[in-house]
Amino acid sequence: MDVAFIIETIVKIVVILLIFSALAGLGTYFERKVLAFMQRRLGPMHVGPFGLLQVAADGIKLFTKEDIIPQNVVKPIFKIAPVITAATAFMASAAIPFWPQFTVMGYTVHPIVADINVGILYVLGVMAIGLYGPLLGGMASANKWSLISAARSAAIFISYEVISGLSLLAPLMMVGSLSLVDINNYQAGGIGNWIVWSQPVAFILFWIAAFAETGRTPFHLVANDHEIIDGFGTEYSGMRWGMFFIGEYANMFFISFVIAIIFLGGFGDGTIAGAFQLLLKVAFFFFFFLWTRAAWPDVRPDQLMWLCWKVLMPIAVLNIVVTGIVMMF
Amino acid sequence: MHHEEVFTDRNVSEHSAYFYVDIETYPVSGWDKFKQVLKRAVRGELFVGLWVVLREMIKFDIHTVQYPKEKLPIGPRYRAVHKLLRLWESGYERCIGCGLCEKICISDCIRMDTRIDENSRKEVTEYSINLGRCIFCGYCAEVCPELAIVHGGRYENASEQRTHFVIKDDMLTPLDLLKAGEQAEYPGFGAIIPGSDASVKKTPLAY
Ligand code: SF4
Ligand code: SF4
């Protein structure tokens, strides 16, 4: 391994960390604003123009708050759990191509940290490890609500891993590669080549599963405020709680990238226009996360399980079988 | 008079807006439940919800009141911090120091002091209300024979202690404001009924 490669990788990691930590903060701002507008409110208004600096105010608040470790918690696990959530969210981003490759001063940059040939497998795998954040945090908290939340998160994440895995299998069979770059290049021909047209069912299923895996509103059971306070986050304060938050919002961005790359053509043929289209698609999916939060109620845990095992999984399996039959002939 | 807000009639009556909601019977068998899920999924109720919130966002019909900068109108009969009014013509204080308000106050929070002045008139030297005890019941305003003590619209109070007072100087209409015609009659408890002039009979002087 030459030095240039190592330096380049480190630079990429730092850039991704910085951009997505900032985006996670901005994401909370957009969430508050969009939800406010949908509920005929104004949202944050007082810090900075249109409340834009609210993000900075929150950051300062979280950083300077006292870091409380309550009595009776399992201390090492309690302390490490938020780190797991934030770290796995960012680790998953390593295999996501955020932008087509471009050349700066004769040097070609690949805006992907590691173009491994099992990219999507890696992304899903690491996101699944993210389950340990809520699970361990909830179990170590010595709090009833946190414990319920931990149990729910284990049930939900494991169930919906099945859906996201099975629903992705059909498009992957068509592409014949697990690398996100290959998947993107498969659809480079334009809108007609997007996988969403040939695999609409898989697209919908994966989208639904994405809501469960990021714990967003119709499936927001792991931290459902009116039932279990803040779930696994109840006992956390200050920046440890903030790390859970950053992890959640970074995950929303990354899963939006994954949906856009796998099903909606990603950055297309790699031109600048294609790259901006990718950003637009990601913005839409992120907006949709907020939109559903304003519009839809939460489902009950048993309904969620019912939906997963009795409706979505059979459909996903059927989708794979049908895809296989069609590809055979 | 300042303008009067028209308030919705929220009293329960046969004309009020109470109505019974139709609640569908809950499905019992598994097949019925499945049909209900299918019906709800296919009828696109989820998309109706999405549309409703998106429509509100596009219409941008914001209802937020940015409180310290904007305030909601309060009713004309709102009972907030008291005012002492002056006579319109002479500018003299209306309060004659009869002490009825002090007597009726159920929280015992009015305290006043009077003396006989040079013209042998009763003069109010001290008048204070402990707002920490006042329950803003309006009895003082109702009992006052001179329409001297009334309620005002000043509802923002802050203090460092539970006892805090308004004194005569705070409540009495300043003379310059009276001359500018800014003293408002209070339409609430104890006020004169509109058109009461017409119903007053002249005292026959034949006695
Ligand atoms: S409003 Fe009621 S409690 Fe307050 S001073 Fe008047 S009589 Fe007393
Ligand atoms: S009842 Fe009216 S006139 Fe009598 S003392 Fe009180 S404020 Fe003055």
H-helix segments, chain B: 30-42, 45-59, 100-104, 139-143, 168-171, 175-179, 196-199
d(CA B86, ligand 2 centre) in Å: 12
Band (pLDDT 50/70/90 cuts) for residue B1 is very low
Name the residue among A34, A45, A295 with its Cβ closest to that of B52: A295
Residue with CA at minimum distance from ligand 2 atom 8: B95
Tell me: pLDDT of A141 over 50.
Answer: yes
The mean pLDDT value for B135-154 works out to 87
Domains, chain B, in order of start with CATH, read 82-192 (3.30.70.3270)
Each as own residue / partner, the long-range contacts of residues B54-63 (CB below 8 Å, 24 or more positions apart, any chain) are B54/A38, B54/A291, B56/A37, B56/A38, B56/A39, B56/A40, B57/A34, B57/A37, B57/A38, B60/A37, B61/A40, B62/A37, B62/A40, B62/A41, B62/A42, B63/A40, B63/A41
- pLDDT tens readout for residues A117-128: 788 888 888 888
Residue with CA at minimum distance from ligand 2 atom 2: B144
Q: Which of A193-197, B33-37, B198-202 has the lowest mean pLDDT?
A: B198-202
Q: Which residues are within 8 A (CB) of B175 and not within 5 positions of it... i.e. 6 or more apart? A: B86, B91
Contact B50 A40 (CB under 8 A): no
Residue owning tokens 């929280």: B107
Collapsed DSSP state (helix, strand, coil) of residue A254: helix
B49 interfacial to chain A (CB closer than 8 Å) = yes
- pLDDT score, position A169: 87
Residue with CA at minimum distance from ligand 1 atom 6: B140
Contact B53 A295 (CB under 8 A): yes
The mean pLDDT value for A312-328 works out to 89
d(CA B149, ligand 2 centre) in Å: 6
Chosen from B57, B63, B65, B66 to mutate, greatest number of chain A CBs within 10 A: B57
Rounded to the nearest angstrom, the gap between the alpha carbon of residue A81 and the centroid of all alpha carbons in its chain is: 18
Distance CA A206, CA A203 (A): 5
The mean pLDDT value for B29-44 works out to 82
Distance CA A324, CA A306 (A): 26
CA atoms within 13 A on the CB side of A176: 3
CB atoms within 10 A of CB B72: 7
Contact B64 A295 (CB under 8 A): no
Tell me: pLDDT of A131 over 80.
Answer: yes
- pLDDT score, position B184: 79
Rg value, chain B, Cα: 28
Ligand 1 pocket: which of B108, B109, B131, B144 to mutate (most atoms within 8 A of CB): B109
The top-scoring range by mean pLDDT among A248-262, B36-50, B193-207 is: A248-262
- pLDDT score, position A90: 86
Distance CA A140, CA A133 (A): 11
Tell me: pLDDT of B15 over 70.
Answer: no
Contact B57 A295 (CB under 8 A): no
Which pair of structure tokens corresponds to residue B187? 């339409």
Chain A residues in contact with B46 by the CB 8 A cut-off are 295-296
Q: Specify the amino acid at residue A219.
A: F
Phi, then psi, of B107 in degrees rounded to 5? -100, 5
Q: Provide the mean pLDDT of chain B.
A: 82
Strand blocks (E) in B97-153? 110-116, 122-130, 149-151
The mean pLDDT value for A20-35 works out to 86
The mean pLDDT value for B55-75 works out to 86
Q: Which residues are within 8 A (CB) of A207 and not within 5 positions of it... i.e. 6 or more apart? A: A259
- pLDDT tens readout for residues A171-214: 888 888 888 888 888 887 777 778 888 888 889 899 988 888 88
A295 interfacial to chain B (CB closer than 8 Å) = yes
Which pair of structure tokens corresponds to residue B183? 């003293």
Could you report the predicted ipTM of this complex, rounded to two decimals?
0.77
Contact B66 A45 (CB under 8 A): yes
Task: Compute the 3-state secondary structure of chain B and give helix, strand, coil in percent, each to the nearest 5.
Answer: 25, 15, 60
CB atoms within 10 A of CB A211: 21
The mean pLDDT value for A111-121 works out to 78
- pLDDT score, position B135: 92
Name the residue among B49, B53, B64 with its Cβ closest to that of A41: B64
Q: Contact at 8 Å (CB) between A259 and A210?
A: yes
Tell me: pLDDT of A234 over 90.
Answer: no
Name the residue among A34, A41, A295 with its Cβ closest to that of B62: A41
Q: Specify the amino acid at residue A151.
A: A
d(CA B185, ligand 1 centre) in Å: 18
Q: Which residues are within 8 A (CB) of A43 and not within 5 positions of it... i.e. 6 or more apart? A: A32, A33, A35, A36, A37, A51
The mean pLDDT value for B127-135 works out to 90
Q: How far A34 CA sits from the closest chain B CA (Å)? A: 8
Q: Which residues are within 8 A (CB) of B73 and not within 5 positions of it... i.e. 6 or more apart? A: B5
Chain A residues in contact with B66 by the CB 8 A cut-off are 42, 45
Distance CA B192, CA B147 (A): 8
> Is residue B134 lining ligand 1, measured as CB closer than 6 Å?
yes
Closest-lying ligand 1 atom to the alpha carbon of residue B138: 1
Full-model pTM: 0.77
The arrangement of strands across the sheet holding B165-167 comes to: B110-116, B122-130, B165-167
Each as own residue / partner, the long-range contacts of residues A319-325 (CB below 8 Å, 24 or more positions apart, any chain) are A319/A166, A319/A167, A319/A170, A319/A199, A319/A201, A319/A202, A319/A205, A320/A166, A320/A169, A320/A170, A320/A173, A323/A170, A323/A173, A323/A174, A323/A199, A324/A173
Closest-lying ligand 1 atom to the alpha carbon of residue B110: 5
B64 interfacial to chain A (CB closer than 8 Å) = yes
Instruction: Please name the helix (run of DSSP H) or strand (run of DSSP E) that holds residue A316, with its range, or none.
Output: helix A313-328
d(CA A59, ligand 1 centre) in Å: 48
Residue with CA at minimum distance from ligand 2 atom 4: B98
Q: Which residue of chain A comes nearest to B49, CA vs CA?
A: A295
Rounded to the nearest angstrom, the gap between the alpha carbon of residue A32 and the centroid of all alpha carbons in its chain is: 18
Chain B residues in contact with A36 by the CB 8 A cut-off are 64
Chosen from A31, A33, A34, A38 to mutate, greatest number of chain B CBs within 10 A: A38
Tell me: pLDDT of B13 over 90.
Answer: no
What DSSP string runs through A256-315? HHHHHHHHS-TTTTSSHHHHHHHHHHHHHHHHHHHHHHHH-PPPPHHHHHHIIIIIIHHH
Tell me: pLDDT of A144 over 80.
Answer: yes
Distance CA B113, CA B105 (A): 16
- pLDDT score, position B105: 92
Q: Contact at 8 Å (CB) between A82 and A244?
A: yes
Q: Contact at 8 Å (CB) between B106 and B139?
A: yes
Q: Provide the mean pLDDT of chain A.
A: 85
> Is residue B141 lining ligand 2, measured as CB closer than 6 Å?
no
Chosen from A32, A34, A37, A219 to mutate, greatest number of chain B CBs within 10 A: A37
The mean pLDDT value for A40-48 works out to 86
Which pair of structure tokens corresponds to residue B200? 């007053």
- Write the CA distances from A119 to A96, A183, A199, A268, integer angstroms: 7, 10, 20, 18
Ligand nearest to the CA of B151: 1
In chain A, pLDDT over 90 holds for what percent of residues? 3
- pLDDT tens readout for residues A275-304: 888 888 888 999 998 999 888 888 888 888
Residue owning tokens 């046969």: B14
Cβ neighbourhood burial of A163 (10 Å; 0-12, 13-18, 19+): buried
Of B149, B128, B131, the C-alpha closest to B84 is: B149
Distance CA A285, CA A297 (A): 19
d(CA B205, ligand 2 centre) in Å: 28
Q: Specify the amino acid at residue A132.
A: Y
Band (pLDDT 50/70/90 cuts) for residue B17 is low
Chosen from B53, B56, B64 to mutate, greatest number of chain A CBs within 10 A: B53
Q: How far A60 CA sits from the closest chain B CA (Å)? A: 25
- pLDDT tens readout for residues A254-274: 889 888 888 887 777 777 777
